[in-house]
Amino acid sequence: MTTVTMSKVAADADDLSVWPASARRLPHGVLAVGGVCLAEIADRFDTPVYVLDEGEVRAHCRAYRDAFPDADVLYAAKAFLSRAVVRWIDEEGLGLDVCSAGELELAVTAGFPADRVVLHGNAKSPHDIEAALRLGVGRIVIDSPSEIARLAAAVGVGTGGAQKVMVRVVPGIMAGGHEKIRTGTEEQKFGLAVSDGSAQHAIARILGLRRLELTGLHCHIGSQITDVKPYVAAVRRMVGLMARIRDTHGVVLPELDMGGGHGIAYRPGEPALDLTALARRLRAELAASCAAAKLPVPRLAIEPGRAVTGPAGVALYRVLAVKRTGERVFVAVDGGMSDNPRPALYGVRYAPRLVGRRSTAEPRTTTVVGRHCEAGDILAADVELPGDIHPGDLLAVPVAGAYQLSMASGYNMVGRPPVVAVHDGTARLLVRRETLADFRRRDIGE
């Protein structure tokens, strides 16, 4: 390996650009986040363990509020939700976007105002709808024609007042970091398309029902989007549909929810969505399109999830085994696809780092794998780690605050890891580790 290449590898290994802003290097190769040593967290709470930087989460909330001062910023709960996160986003002035009765009830029982909650879902269960109406959510996003009659009938069973709803529209725009997370075209399960008239038909039906109050339109074009242009194009098409609704029904809708999907960098050098540019371009396009259509500018809403909590999280693992097979080096850790299925689902790439000690060994291309009985249980393929890595070492994976614990499973009955919040030099447990006793309590058959 040349000197230039070695220098680049060393620089990449020391790059903290995708880590929380509070990340600090300590002596002997150890890192601290939120003023707390990661090695101490691993010793105290065991591994695997998620570390969530409260200050980083709050900073991202404030960045969104500053960028969109005249819009509703709704945190997408599916990225990660706990009672503490509910409190943080409430205190920072954000609303909440939920996809189930479970997410909704956790938020409301933690003290979050239900009228600042929006309920999504392409297949809402009767329990989802009942909970939303009982707790008084601010908006329900209608995703299919069959939902209209079901929801109207459920409202009638309740107080008899009108439930505010939006319609999820498919604008025909392809965007997103992987085909499995592109939701803006007709070839997927979400929303109602404009191209075949489904959206227009649903809107007409809703406007004819006194128990449903249509407040606006919603769209979500995909996830892990790093370019502003698809959002601008989506705004233009959504305003066009709002103009047609006015012309056809004489109704001017006051709200437009442009969803989320804001991309972040998982490894140094990767692109991320420019929040300032997004805010500027969305406002400009919304104003221009509405002026051209002679429409008042609707109240804008956005739904960031990953971009709020993702960069604030770090996953810690212990190395269990090191295996050399031919030219490949496999480092197996005490977690895997049960606590982070994203690499197996989407081919996501991470940048793990040795954090428990300082190594002077030359780096070697390594694949970090999990402990599960699947060949696809890979956490990080072809990454540079010290050549002397051995069992007992501590690895940290940054950008672990979104779509990891929320998507975790009980595969192989390996309990889901705990979540530890760090802030101003203190660490506290937010979510305890799932134990074998939890599995036994659920298994009640003989």
Distance of CA 157 to the CA centre of its chain: 34
CB atoms within 10 A of CB 164: 17
Determine whether 373 is an active site residue.
yes
How far apart, in whole angstroms, are the C-alpha atoms of residue 146 and residue 157?
Answer: 18
Distances (CA, A) of 175 to 162, 186, 221, 308, 390: 35, 12, 6, 20, 41
How far apart, in whole angstroms, are the C-alpha atoms of residue 7 and residue 11?
Answer: 6
Nearest to 340, CA basis, from 419, 435, 405, 417: 405
State the chain's maximal CA–CA distance in angstroms: 74
How far apart, in whole angstroms, are the C-alpha atoms of residue 416 and residue 315?
Answer: 12
How far apart, in whole angstroms, are the C-alpha atoms of residue 290 and residue 377?
Answer: 49
How far apart, in whole angstroms, are the C-alpha atoms of residue 217 and residue 235?
Answer: 11
199: left (phi over 0), alpha (psi -120 to 50) or beta: alpha
Helical H segments across 164-221, by residue range: 198-207
The CA R_g of the chain, rounded to the nearest whole Å, is: 23
Q: Interior CA angle at 248 toward 247 and 249, to 5°?
A: 100
How far apart, in whole angstroms, are the C-alpha atoms of residue 322 and residue 131?
Answer: 49
Judge whether 283 and 238 are in contact, CB under 8 Å.
Answer: no
- List residues bridging with 396 in a β-sheet: 316, 353
How far apart, in whole angstroms, are the C-alpha atoms of residue 309 and residue 311?
Answer: 6
Q: Interior CA angle at 111 toward 105 and 112, to 5°?
A: 75
Catalytic residues: 373
